[in-house]
Each structure stands twice: as C-alpha cells, then as structure tokens.
C-alpha cells in the first residue's frame, strides 16, 4: 500500500496511543492478582481511565472525521454506509458496565471468577478494536485523501490531534 504522508494522516498518532493502551492493559492483566482487593482496585481504576479514553477517541473521530466525511460524500453523491456504521458496535458501554460490576466483588472466589470474565471480555474487545483501527487506517484514510484537499486534511489532522491532547 502507498505510504500516507505524515501531515495528512489523521489516524496514525491517536492510534499509536490507543494501541499502547491496549498493550498496557494486557500487561497489567497478566500481573494482577485477583485474590488481592487492592490489586483489583488498581486494575479497575486504570481500565476505567483507559476505556473512557477509548470512548473519547471514538467521539472525536465521530465529530471531527466521520461527520465531515459523511457531509463530503453526500455533497459528492457518493454512497458509503461503512462510514455511518463504523462505531455502531464498539462494545465500550458493555466494558464500562463490566468494570463497574467489578467494584462489588467481595470474596476472593468472586474476584477470581470476575478476573476470568474480565480477561475474556478484554480479549474480545481487542479482537474487534485492533482490526477496527486497521480498517480506519486502510479504508477510511485513503477515502479521506480521495475527497478532501491536502490543506483540508492537514487542518483535520491538526484538530483531531489537538482534541486528543485535551484528554
């Protein structure tokens, strides 16, 4: 595939951060002792911050990329349903609810069972989230380059990165 010039790549910088967060949570999961209440609390605090950041990433993309892209495609009479549906099934709400549930596990057995459930859910989430980011980089980025001017994309990228820095 053709390399994307850095200055118009709206996904690369935020996605590096998102991928780093996924790696971090897998590392933390491996070292968490679920029988220890303090360990579990620390993990949950980190995961809450992580998933709120994923949610914000999605909202920034919806507001600053997908909305503009939809408007542009409509103006050019190009029909692309993938743009409308790309964040429809992100499972972020379910994970945030699962993290909330983890706060109420009082016994060691409950926490260990919860740990297994959490691990499966986080693995499932990553199995969807990582390819989703790939799709944005490999499908939406070229589409953006097709319909926006160089200047428009530089501006778009600037705004997207600026919004992420506020997180």
Taking the CA atoms of 19, 38, 98 and 49 in sequence, report the sign of the dihedral they define: negative
Nearer to ligand FEO, 114 or 140 (CB): 140
The least distance separating ligand FEO from the CB of residue 104, rounded to whole angstroms, comes to: 30
Nearer to ligand FEO, 35 or 62 (CB): 62
The least distance separating ligand FEO from the CB of residue 8, rounded to whole angstroms, comes to: 16
Nearer to ligand FEO, 16 or 109 (CB): 16
Nearer to ligand FEO, 45 or 123 (CB): 123
The least distance separating ligand FEO from the CB of residue 12, rounded to whole angstroms, comes to: 10
At residue 35, the 3 state secondary structure works out as coil
Q: Summarize as ranges the residues that interact with ligand FEO (CB under 6 A).
A: 11, 15, 57-58, 61, 87, 132-133, 136
Using alpha carbons, select from 18, 47, 16, 31 the residue that is nearest to residue 121. 47
The least distance separating ligand FEO from the CB of residue 91, rounded to whole angstroms, comes to: 12
CA pair distance 58, 160, nearest whole angstrom: 11
């Amino acid at each position: 595939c053709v390399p994307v010039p850095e200055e118009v790549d709206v996904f690369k910088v935020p996605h590096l951060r998102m991928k780093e967060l996924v790696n971090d949570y897998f590392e933390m999961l491996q070292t968490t002792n679920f029988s220890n209440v303090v360990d579990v609390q620390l993990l949950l605090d980190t995961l809450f911050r992580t998933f709120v950041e994923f949610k914000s990433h999605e909202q920034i993309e919806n507001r600053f990329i997908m909305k503009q892209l939809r408007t542009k495609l409509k103006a050019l009479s190009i029909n692309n349903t993938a743009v409308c549906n790309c964040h429809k099934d992100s499972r972020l709400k379910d994970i945030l609810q699962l993290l909330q549930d983890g706060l109420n596990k009082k016994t060691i057995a409950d926490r260990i069972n919860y740990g297994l459930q959490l691990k499966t859910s986080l693995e499932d989430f990553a199995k969807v989230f990582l390819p989703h980011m790939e799709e944005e980089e490999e499908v939406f980025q070229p589409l953006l380059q097709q319909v926006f001017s160089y200047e428009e994309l530089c501006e778009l990228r600037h705004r997207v990165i600026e919004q992420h820095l506020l997180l």
